[in-house]
């Protein structure tokens, strides 16, 4: 059957030309030093958008195609770039919530002390399963936190052994978002014993035994919310699980928003690990304001014509900061890591690559 001309088939779904997703946004007006409340309409039929100032009854941007704006970016709390204007999505219309965020949940995932060479593979697996990573941090668990994490098996004879294991090395905590995320993450993990886990699950792929079984998943919404608050929360202005950065003999690697959106975080972790020259000593996901991005890139101001675009891109989504160190402390980590990164422009690299 032919699709009518006013319909468009994408992602195995047919969209009407007039179908739209509506979001409430905030935009900082530098001239007036105020926050403007705006309405953003996104039309999946042709990837176009419209921006309206409802209070003034003014159409700030008529419907126009914007290939760089993807449906995946339209999440509450995200910042989107609309022709160099940064809009913070604060809410959405009820109909949009039903269509896009029905059954969407957050859950807590913990990558247990495993070889660093597995971190990239596990993160790639998570992103390929359709989860969005919205918070991420590495850390070292204390026994009190570990006891809280495994309170559901209190009294089990294995508990002291499990506590000793999860507190024995570095872990990575993540907040994962997706449809039915709590149940889906546990399904992706597989049975606690890797020998009994379904083929293709994380524990079947990378688990060693019932103790060293790769990762942890929560059982309920209350459990997930509690673990997220414990791992990522603050107490008296200090993080409950301290950041691991040492700021010594290291360099900073920032994974930019586009790489996160494209699902390349795991590949970057793997590239660093497989090089054999470097290891990641600290990890944290964060957002930056435009002013902070401008300060971060200040050295390029007046030097690179794309300076403004670079700043806007850094501020328009989540970033991941990595503290990277050399396995050989006698090497200059900054210079060596720039070699593995290659030229700033990938096109330049491709023009010189002979492989």
**Active site (catalytic) residues:** 216
Integer Cα distance of 11 and 3 in angstroms: 14
What is the DSSP secondary structure assignment for residue 88, as one 8-state letter? E
Give residues with Cβ within 8 angstroms of 270, minimum separation 6: 117, 120, 121, 124
DSSP string, 12-69: TEEEETT--EEEEEEEEETTTTEEEEEEEEEETTTTEEEEEETTTTEEEEEEEE-TT-
Joined tokens for residue 222: 């209350």
Cβ atoms within 10 Å of 305's Cβ, excluding its own: 8
Q: How far is CA 31 from CA 34, 35, 38, 121, in A?
A: 8, 11, 17, 46
- Largest Cα–Cα separation, the chain: 67
Give residues with Cβ within 8 angstroms of 348, minimum separation 6: none
Contact 218, 107 (CB under 8 A): yes
Integer Cα distance of 193 and 214 in angstroms: 11
Contact 112, 213 (CB under 8 A): yes
| Cα 194 to the center of its chain, rounded Å | 27
Alpha-helical runs (H) found in the chain = 94-101, 119-128, 143-149, 159-166, 181-189, 202-206, 221-232, 257-261, 265-274, 290-296, 307-315, 333-341, 346-352
Integer Cα distance of 12 and 80 in angstroms: 25
- Element (H or E) spanning 175, and its range? strand 170-179
Contact 23, 85 (CB under 8 A): no
């Amino acid at each position: 059957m032919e699709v009518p001309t006013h319909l468009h088939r994408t992602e195995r779904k047919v969209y009407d030309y007039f179908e739209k997703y509506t979001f409430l946004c905030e935009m900082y007006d530098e001239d007036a030093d105020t926050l403007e409340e705006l309405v953003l309409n996104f039309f999946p039929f042709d990837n176009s958008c419209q921006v309206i100032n409802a209070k003034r009854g003014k159409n700030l941007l008529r419907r126009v195609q914007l290939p760089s704006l993807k449906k995946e970016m339209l999440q509450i709390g995200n910042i989107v770039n609309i022709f160099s204007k940064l809009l913070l999505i604060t809410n959405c219309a009820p109909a949009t919530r039903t269509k896009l965020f029905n059954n969407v949940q957050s859950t807590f995932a913990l990558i247990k002390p495993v070889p660093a060479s597995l971190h990239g593979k596990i993160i790639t697996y998570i992103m390929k399963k359709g989860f969005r990573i919205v918070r991420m941090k590495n850390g070292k668990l204390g026994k009190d936190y570990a006891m809280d994490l495994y309170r559901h098996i209190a009294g089990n004879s294995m508990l002291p052994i499990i506590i000793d294991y999860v507190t024995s090395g570095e872990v990575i905590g993540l907040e994962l978002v997706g449809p039915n995320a709590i149940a889906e993450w546990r399904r992706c993990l597989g049975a606690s014993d890797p020998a009994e886990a379904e083929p293709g699950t994380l524990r079947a792929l990378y688990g060693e035994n019932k103790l060293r079984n790769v990762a942890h998943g929560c059982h309920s919404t209350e459990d997930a919310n509690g673990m997220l608050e414990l791992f990522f929360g603050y107490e008296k202005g200090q993080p409950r699980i301290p950041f691991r950065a040492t700021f010594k003999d290291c360099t900073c690697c920032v994974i930019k928003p586009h790489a996160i959106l494209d699902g390349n975080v795991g590949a970057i972790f793997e590239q660093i690990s497989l090089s054999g020259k470097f290891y990641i000593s600290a990890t944290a996901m964060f957002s930056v304001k435009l002013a902070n991005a401008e300060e971060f890139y200040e050295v390029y101001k007046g030097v690179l014509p794309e300076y403004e675009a670079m700043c806007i891109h850094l501020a328009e989504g989540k970033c991941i900061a990595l503290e990277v160190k050399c396995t050989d402390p006698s090497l200059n980590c900054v210079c060596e890591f720039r070699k593995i990164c290659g030229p700033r422009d990938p096109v330049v690299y491709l023009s010189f690559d002979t492989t």
